[in-house]
Amino acid sequence: MGKLLGIAYRDGSRQPMREIDATKISLTAGVASDFRGRKPGPRQVTVLCAEKWRAACDELGAQLPWTTRRANLLVNGLSIGPECVGRTLRVGTALLRITIETDPCSRMDEQYRGLKRALTPDWRGGACCEVVQDGDIAVGDAVQFVN
């Protein structure tokens, strides 16, 4: 079982990430207030594994804030990879289905030189999810696979 370490959203493309302690996740809006979640689909919510983020940072010799990755949720204690596509995660009372890898884009190198390359192996960039069930989430909540 894992744990939710962080929650973040952004108001629009290229806008700064805003960290919060608790929020709602819904089928119609994804993470409340996040611009990407307004379009239901396979990239509604993004999840980043803390251990994989640390591996990418270690490779760069830098300790970057997790929000540099621009993901919505930071979790620890879980390993998410290609074998997890189609599986459902319970985060708080919300259910999220893992759909695809979050491919690192060139914007990562705008954040820190070499970050895109460091995020490429082993799903270090995280996973995209679609919301299956509305729910409330808060930092400290348990995160676990339900199937």
Q: What pLDDT digit, counting tens, does each position of 35-56 carry?
A: 887 778 889 999 999 999 999 9
How many other C-beta atoms lie within 10 A of the C-beta of residue 128?
24
Q: What is the DSSP letter of 139?
A: T
Cβ neighbors of 102 (< 8 A, separation 6 or more) are 43, 46, 48, 71, 125, 126, 127, 128
- Closest among 129, 128, 109 to 118, alpha carbons compared: 109
- pLDDT in the model for residue 128: 97
- pLDDT in the model for residue 35: 85
Element (H, E) at 59: helix 50-60
- pLDDT in the model for residue 110: 87
- pLDDT in the model for residue 85: 98
Direct distance between the N- and C-terminal alpha carbons of the chain, in angstroms, rounded to an integer: 13
Report pTM.
0.95
Instruction: Catalogue all structural domains in the chain, each as residue range(s) with its CATH number.
Output: 2-145 (2.40.33.20)
Banded model confidence at residue 107, pLDDT cuts 50, 70, 90: confident
- pLDDT in the model for residue 130: 96
